[in-house]
């Protein structure tokens, strides 16, 4: 879609307002709204000014002026606003130099795509993430100097089997038994259908929706794979629509990786495939139908995985999901079909065009632009340096003894460990000017100060259960 076509779209839908959206470093959407009469073709070229110092991880107060540039091909009509509104995703630009801003996540993704093309490895990267989430009926939480608590509730929650609900109709989902049940056990069929319909109306290609494994309304809506930039944009739209459809129904959605103790967390298994001249680079005659290039790509992912997780699993809560015994993989190995390995090769089809690698570690708390970029850069590094992935892990991980388990590398145990790994292993992210050292250091400092240390300094409620009587 061109700027001219966007203006035509505004007239056809009687648009009254235009919402300009961009993503900050941690991955939150921000927006500013203008009357439709102020959206001209010149705005797409020259942009509009805003204060970059008020955005997390961006400019200092003495260099706060920034430009926001709408991208015409991202336009979609907002399905929730009372006033007819068109949404446009934007890039960020420095008004002095005229260059794209080095800490704009969307710009970083565009640089990674350009680097891929110039590398000769491939000319297209397709991503297919599977973002999971919980649909809840009530949430309350707080942390003050003298108290800290959280409380979540769901009509489906196993803990509500004995609750007085006048009447309680049963059909509560037991822990880890929420995969694919039909109504009335699945309480959210209609709500997920409404989410799916709204996503489609906004231009997203939805493949399916279903209840996920966890109790308390865990859900998944899958999107068809897209090129990397389009998919990163669509994940932002996906979160926005899912949350707002739930809110309109009097419910709330969280993409927090591990909100429920003792049950599966929410992941974002991410499928990646590379193509060159419309041919699938990952298809071949090797293990699981992979090419040598694909095996080297897996080698790059596994080698850099500890550092990668600082972007793909960027919260302290992420590492409460990445623990042994649940569906989330902690084993830095690869395998066909085996879901306990960090890299899985899906075997649903023998079609070479379906050949891809699924990286199972990521979760939906990530900034998709940075997570996808880091994953692509590790993939390219593996291919360029012919990094071996080692032998596949085709056995049941739970049948291995301690010595065998010790030989398999594991994911970092905490966000702090992942940030330490990134601090030691980030050169692959700098190639082609995709990321720079300033962005890496800003990310590490922000996460350590505002998340790792912030949690480390506060008493945990369960510590009182363990230690109050010492």
Residue positions annotated with a catalytic role? 51, 130, 132, 212, 220, 269, 339, 358, 360
- The 8-class DSSP code of residue 450 comes to I
Q: Which residues, in sequence order, are CB contacts of 191 under 8 Å at separation 6+? A: 135, 245, 246, 249, 251
Q: Are 322 and 231 in contact (CB under 8 A)?
A: no
Cβ–Cβ contacts within 10 Å for residue 451, how many?
18
What value, to the nearest 5°, has the Cα angle with vertex 415 and ends 220 and 407?
Answer: 90
Rounded Cα distance between 224 and 207, Å, is 6
Rounded Cα distance between 250 and 135, Å, is 10
Bond before 405 cis per omega within 30 degrees: no
Q: Which tokens hold the place of 180?
A: 């694919």
Residue 28, CA distances (Å) to 24, 178, 400, 426 in order: 6, 29, 41, 23
Say how many residues make up the chain: 470
Rounded Cα distance between 145 and 336, Å, is 49
Q: Which tokens hold the place of 282?
A: 């990952």
Rounded Cα distance between 279 and 272, Å, is 14
Q: Are 272 and 125 in contact (CB under 8 A)?
A: yes
Q: Which tokens hold the place of 292?
A: 């040598």
Three state DSSP letters for 262-285: CCCCCCEEEEEEEEECCEECCECC
Helix, strand or coil, per DSSP, at residue 426:
coil
Rounded Cα distance between 203 and 101, Å, is 28
């Amino acid at each position: 879609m061109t700027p001219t076509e966007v203006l035509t779209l505004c007239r056809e839908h009687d648009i009254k307002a235009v919402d300009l959206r961009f993503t900050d470093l941690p991955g939150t959407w921000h927006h500013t709204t203008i009357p439709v009469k102020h959206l001209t073709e010149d705005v797409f070229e020259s942009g509009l000014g805003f204060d970059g110092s008020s955005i997390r991880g961006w400019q200092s107060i003495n260099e706060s002026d920034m430009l926001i540039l709408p991208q015409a091909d991202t336009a979609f009509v907002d399905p929730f606003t009372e006033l007819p509104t068109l949404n446009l995703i934007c890039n960020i630009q420095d008004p002095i130099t005229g260059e794209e801003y080095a800490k704009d996540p969307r710009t970083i993704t565009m640089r990674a795509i350009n680097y891929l093309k110039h590398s000769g490895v491939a000319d297209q990267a397709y991503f297919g993430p599977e973002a999971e989430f919980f649909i809840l009926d009530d949430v309350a939480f707080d942390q003050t100097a003298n108290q800290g608590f959280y409380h979540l509730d769901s009509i489906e929650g196993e803990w509500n089997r004995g609750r007085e609900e006048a009447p309680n109709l049963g059909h509560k989902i037991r822990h880890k038994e929420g995969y694919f049940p039909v109504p009335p056990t699945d309480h959210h069929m209609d709500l997920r259908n409404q989410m799916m319909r709204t996503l489609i109306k906004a231009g997203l290609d939805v493949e399916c929706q279903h209840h996920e494994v966890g109790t308390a309304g865990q859900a998944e809506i899958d999107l068809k794979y897209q090129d990397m930039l389009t998919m990163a944009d669509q994940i932002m739209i996906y979160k926005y629509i899912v949350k707002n459809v739930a809110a309109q129904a009097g419910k709330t959605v969280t993409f927090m990786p591990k909100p429920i103790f003792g049950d599966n967390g929410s992941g974002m298994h991410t499928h990646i495939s590379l193509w060159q001249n419309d041919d699938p680079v990952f298809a071949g005659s090797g293990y699981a139908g992979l090419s040598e290039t694909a095996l080297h790509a897996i080698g790059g992912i596994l080698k850099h995985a500890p550092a990668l997780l600082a972007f793909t699993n960027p919260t302290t809560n992420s590492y409460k999901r990445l623990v042994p015994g649940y569906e989330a993989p902690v084993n830095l190995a690869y395998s066909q079909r085996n879901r306990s390995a960090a890299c899985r090769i899906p075997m649903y089809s023998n079609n070479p065009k379906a050949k891809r690698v699924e990286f199972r570690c990521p979760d939906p708390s990530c900034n998709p632009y940075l997570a996808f970029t880091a994953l692509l850069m590790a993939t390219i590094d593996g291919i360029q340096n012919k990094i071996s992935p080692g032998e596949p892990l085709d056995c049941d991980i739970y049948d291995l003894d301690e010595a065998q388990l010790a030989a398999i590398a594991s994911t970092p145990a905490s966000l702090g460990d992942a940030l330490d790994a990134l601090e030691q292993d980030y050169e692959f992210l700098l190639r082609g000017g995709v990321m720079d050292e300033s962005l890496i250091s800003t990310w590490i400092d922000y996460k350590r100060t505002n998340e790792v240390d912030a949690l480390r300094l506060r008493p945990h409620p369960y510590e009182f259960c363990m230690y109050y009587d010492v």
